[in-house]
Amino acid sequence: MNKSWVQSLLRLLVAFAIGLIISSLFILAVGENPIVAYKALLEGAFANKLGVFTTLRWTVPYIIVGVAATVSFKAGLFNMGMEGCIYAGALAAGLLGTIPGLPPIIHVPLCIMGATLVGMIWMIVPAFLKAKYGTNEVIITWMQSYAMTLLCSFLVTEYFQRPEDITSAAQQVRTPFIEPSAALNPIIDPYKLNTSLYIAIALIVILYVFSKYTIMGYEHRMMGTSYDFSIYGGVKTRKMQFWALLISGGIAAIAGAAETLGVNGQYIHGFSTSMGPNGIMVALMGRLNPLGLAISSLFMGAIQSGARAMVRATEVSVYTMNIMISIIVICITADGLYEMLHIKKRQREGD
């Protein structure tokens, strides 16, 4: 048990080191000093109050989407459609948020529940096909994600946008502002970090308790590790697969709702800067472990918040950070790499 934990950490460190080395080469290639660049990034993310709060502000949605991804990954399913769920949840929350005359104690949960429901409904088709026919969920969730993103943009432009917003300078597709009663308020005023932080923390705790202390969590985990074994053990795998995808979609939608209610105060199309894919990265980097998830979300949040400072201070482009993250993701599942480095015991051929 303890050993697998150490192994996990070592693997992560190796992947991180490879990512760091390769991105350093890219920084050197533009004639900059990698240490200076990374220092600028860290300073931008942590050195002042604004930086810290911006880092945390980005950490929150990453945690939520990361939990959503973990729920599906742990069950051995790849929900690639989280971006669509995020948009769907954001739009649902944005629309429910405009209902006037509700007390905050009802209004905020209503918006979040509404978003969750929409996210879950959106996942019914792939979940049903997976559970009933064993259809590969990767393509369908992925395609749905694109379709949903476009659908949200269409719905807002056609039905929910106020005419005065169309002519505004921003030219963004957006809904009217939500009522103050629906808002997730900032924790410390001028900064964008808001009470959705508590939602993120709650989700992490729930995930931890669920997978560690409940029978269903054990079955859920088992199904992802060894599908045949879990069938043998009597796990209702089909039902589990169905709900894993649904819940994954629902949680992803909460991330969208949190962005709408907490940060933007309205649905703005294009607000999710690849939050879905980034959530997948976070889950993978966190090795599907709740604590790892929180740390990797903080890491991604810091990059999001510090990259701008780095770009300002040096000639390094933002792509360098994306190169680093993708290298980490590529390295992270490569068992052979760790066998070669003697971190992981070689598995017998055919196991």
Partner 1 sequence: MLDMLFSEHTITTGISLATPILLCALGGAVCSKAGNFNIAMEGFMLVGALFGVVGAYFMGNVAMGVICAIIASVIMTLLYGLFLIKFKGNEIILGFGFNMLAVALTGWLLAPLFGNAGSFYNPNTPSLTKLAIPIIKDIPLLRCLSGHNIIVYLSWIIVIVLFIMMYKTPLGFRLRALGENSKTLDVTGMNTVRYRYLAEIICGVLCGLAGAFLSIGNLSMFTENMTSGRGYIAVAAVGFSNAYIPVTAVASLIFGFTSSMAIQLQGIGFPSQLVDMTPYIITILVIIISSFKKNKDKGSRQ
User: Closest approach of Cβ 132 to partner 1, in Å?
Assistant: 8
Q: For residues 123-152, which are near partner 1 according to CB under 8 A?
A: 125, 129, 132-136, 138-140, 142-144, 146-147, 150-151
What mask of x and - would describe binding to partner 1 in positions 308 to 337, judged by CB under 8 A?
Answer: ---------x-xx-xx-xxx-xxxxxxxxx
Side-chain-side CA neighbours of residue 143 (13 Å): 7
d(C-alpha 40, C-alpha 202), whole Å: 32
Tokens found for residue 303 = 């990059």
C-beta neighbour count of 212 within 10 angstroms: 11
| Between 150 and 202, CB nearer to partner 1 | 150
* Least distance to partner 1, CB of residue 178, Å: 23
Beta strands in the chain (DSSP E): none
Which of 104-112, 226-234, 246-254, 278-286 is the region at the interface with partner 1 (rule: CB under 8 A)?
278-286
Written as six digits, the tokens of 105 are 């104690």
Q: Quick check: 301 and 57 in contact, CB under 8 A?
A: yes
Rank residues 159 and 232 by Cβ distance to partner 1 and give the closer one. Answer: 159
Query: Binding marks (x or -) toward partner 1, 152..181, rule CB under 8 A?
Result: -xx--xx-----------------------
User: Could you tell me the CA-to-CA distances from 256 to 24, 48, 205, 233, 296 in Å, in that order?
Assistant: 33, 27, 20, 37, 19
CB neighbourhood size of 36 (10 A): 14
The answer to whether residue 225 forms part of the interface with partner 1 (CB under 8 A) is no
Cβ at position 9, least distance to partner 1 in Å:
19
Distance of alpha carbon 284 from alpha carbon 66, whole angstroms: 9
Contact characters 65-94, partner 1, x per CB under 8 A: -------------x-x--------------
Stretch that binds partner 1, among 100-108, 180-188, 258-266, 275-283 (CB under 8 A): 275-283
Cβ atoms 258, 62 nearer than 8 A: no
Q: Which is nearer to partner 1, 302 or 332 (CB)?
A: 332
3-state secondary structure at position 174: strand
Closest CA to 297 of 138, 59, 100: 59
- The residues binding partner 1 (CB under 8 A) are 26, 29-30, 78, 80, 125, 129, 132-136, 138-140, 142-144, 146-147, 150-151, 153-154, 157-158, 277, 280-281, 284, 317, 319-320, 322-323, 325-327, 329-337, 340, 350
